[in-house]
Every structure is written in C-alpha cells, then in structure tokens.
C-alpha cells in the first residue's frame, strides 16, 4: 500500500491537449497557486532568470510586484527562495496600494510593516518545491510556458476544477492522457482523482 504522505509516491501525470480558447479556464489554477519543483536556496532573480529562463529586462520591467511568503519584496537579488516558499508574481498594479506594492516603488514605505526582509545570507542550494502564483498580465505571458513544462496541483483542487467544467470545455479538450494513457473525459468528471492520488503532475498543451 502507498504511503499517502509521500509526495512522489502519490503522484499521477495528467496531460491535456486543449484548444487555445480554453486557456483562460486555467486562470483559476494559475492564480490560486500551484507547486513547481526547482532549485531552492537561490535568489528570486536567479530563479526567474536562470531557472525559468526569463530575460533580466522582462523580470525588471514587467514583473514589478513580487510577494515572497505573502510579503512584498523590494530587493529580488537578496530575497532567497526556500523549500516550501510561496512566490507570487504580478505586473504593475493600479491604485495607491497597487503602486505601494511595487518593488522599490516611490510609495513602498507605506507598507513597511509587511515588507519582506531576508534574515540570513547563507542558504544551501538544493532541489525543492515551491508554491507559485501568477497574476494578471503574467498569467497570459508565463502561464502557457509553465503549463507546458508541467505543474503540481493537489488532486482535490484539480478534481474540483475539472468536475465543474461545462461541455464546451470538454469539447475543446482534444486529448487526455492519464498516466501516459488516453482516457475518456468521464474518468476526470467523476471526481475519481482525489481517491487515487494526493498530487497530479499537470501538463497542458495548446494546439
């Protein structure tokens, strides 16, 4: 019998090939948070530029609002990703508070009580899991890349997401592979996933 607490032992691969028009349906998962496997003990900038392959210009110019463990980050070179960290990425936001949350923005002092501060400098670089959330413009721009690479989603959450989808959604799903084998949509519609696995490695391709 499997140990349900063991992440890798309770994992199933699910690959969906969808029509591009269906992509907005996955906003809910991308903004609600998902897990990715990556190096930890490295700075946010290193993660974004070297591990996710984003250009420094894109990171500096576009990802202007970043939260690490729920705290707005100013210095992405000193803030370090740890195993289990939660990282949220956003473009520039409206409103005074939107401007306040910006990295090193002119109004950042207005939220000084919650600003992220890195307490230590030496962290061991190793393989780990982090929670990632994408917001607003970055969902469109980074979402397809991450879904293509694959993300980890709690099977209860994925199941809740899949079972509420309409016929339109399923008609736009051209191919469904569960554990590498083609399955009918009815398998995913019957809330079976939570009973079988803790986590699903979800890959979504458009075409």
Partner 1 sequence: MDKILRINMGAEGGPKATAVPFGDYAGLGGRGLTSAIVSKEVPPDCHPLSDTNKLVIAPGLLSGTAGSMTGRISVGCKSPLTGGIKESNAGGQPSQVLARLGYGAIVLEGKPKGDDLYKIFINKDGVRITTDNRLKMLGNYDTVEKMKKEFGEKIACISIGPAGEMKLNAASVACTDTELRPTRHAGRGGVGAVMGSKGVKVIVLDDTDMNMRQPKEPEKFKEANKAFTDGLRKHGVTGEALPAYGTNILANILNEAGGYPTYNFKEGRFQGTSKISGETEAALETERGGVATHACHRGCVIRCSGIYNDKDGHYLTKQPEYETVWAHGANCGIDDLDKIAMLDFLDDNIGLDTIEMGATIGVAMEAGLLKFGDADGAINLIKEVGKGTPLGRIIGSGAAITGRVFGVERVPVVKGQAMPAYDPRAVQGIGVTYATTPMGADHTAGYAVATNILKVGGFVDPLKPEGQIDLSRNLQIATAAIDSTGMCLFIAFAIMDQPETFQALLDLINAFYGLNLTADDVVELGKKVLKMERDFNIRAGFTKEQDRLPPFFKTQPLLPHNVTFQVKDEDLDKVFNW
Stretch that binds partner 1, among 50-58, 96-104, 146-154, 181-189 (CB under 8 A): 96-104
| From 6, 55, 97, 184, residue interacting with partner 1 (rule: CB under 8 A) | 97
Per CB under 8 A, contacts with partner 1 among 35-64 are 62, 64
Task: State the minimum distance, in angstroms, from the CB of residue 154 to partner 1.
Answer: 14
Residue closer to partner 1, measured from CB, 48 or 178: 48
Closest CA to 199 of 154, 162, 166, 146: 154
| From 17, 38, 91, 160, residue interacting with partner 1 (rule: CB under 8 A) | 91
Stretch that binds partner 1, among 5-13, 34-42, 47-55, 105-113 (CB under 8 A): 105-113
Structure tokens at 7: 């992440």
Structure tokens at 9: 């032992």
Residue closer to partner 1, measured from CB, 42 or 88: 88
For the chain, state the CA radius of gyration: 18
| DSSP-assigned letter for residue 61 | H
Structure tokens at 75: 């210095």
Provide the edge-to-edge strand list for the sheet that holds 199-206.
Answer: 71-72, 65-68, 86-90, 126-134, 34-40, 151-154, 199-206, 11-18, 173-178, 181-182
Query: Any contact of residue 93 with partner 1 (CB under 8 A)?
Result: yes
Query: Any contact of residue 111 with partner 1 (CB under 8 A)?
Result: yes
Closest CA to 145 of 86, 87, 206: 206
Task: State the minimum distance, in angstroms, from the CB of residue 88 to partner 1.
Answer: 5
| DSSP-assigned letter for residue 41 | S
Query: Any contact of residue 152 with partner 1 (CB under 8 A)?
Result: no
With H, G, I as helix, E, B as strand and everything else as coil, classify residue 139: helix
Task: State the minimum distance, in angstroms, from the CB of residue 5 to partner 1.
Answer: 24
Provide the 10 A C-beta neighbour count for residue 96. Answer: 9
Query: Any contact of residue 196 with partner 1 (CB under 8 A)?
Result: no
**Site for partner 1, rule CB under 8 A:** 24-25, 27-28, 31-32, 62, 64-65, 67, 70-72, 88, 90-101, 106-114, 133, 135-137, 139
């Amino acid at each position: 019998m499997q140990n349900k607490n063991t992440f890798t032992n309770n994992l199933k691969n699910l690959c969906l090939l969808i029509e591009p028009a269906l992509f907005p349906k996955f906003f809910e998962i991308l903004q609600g948070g998902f897990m990715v496997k990556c190096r930890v003990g490295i700075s946010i900038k290193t993660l974004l530029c070297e591990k996710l392959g984003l250009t420094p210009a894109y990171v500096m110019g576009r990802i202007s609002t970043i939260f690490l463990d729920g705290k707005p980050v100013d210095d992405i070179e000193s803030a370090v990703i740890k195993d289990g960290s939660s990282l949220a990425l956003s473009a520039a936001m409206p409103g005074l508070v939107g401007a306040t949350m910006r990295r090193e923005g002119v109004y950042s002092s207005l939220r000084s009580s919650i600003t992220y501060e890195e307490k230590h400098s030496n962290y061991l670089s190793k393989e780990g899991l982090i929670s990632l959330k994408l917001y607003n413009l970055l969902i469109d721009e980074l979402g397809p890349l991450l879904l293509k690479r694959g993300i980890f989603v709690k099977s209860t959450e994925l199941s809740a997401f899949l079972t509420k989808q309409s016929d339109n959604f399923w008609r736009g799903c051209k191919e469904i592979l569960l554990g590498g084998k083609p399955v009918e949509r009815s398998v995913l519609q019957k809330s079976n996933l939570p009973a079988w696995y803790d986590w699903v490695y979800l890959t979504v391709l458009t075409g």
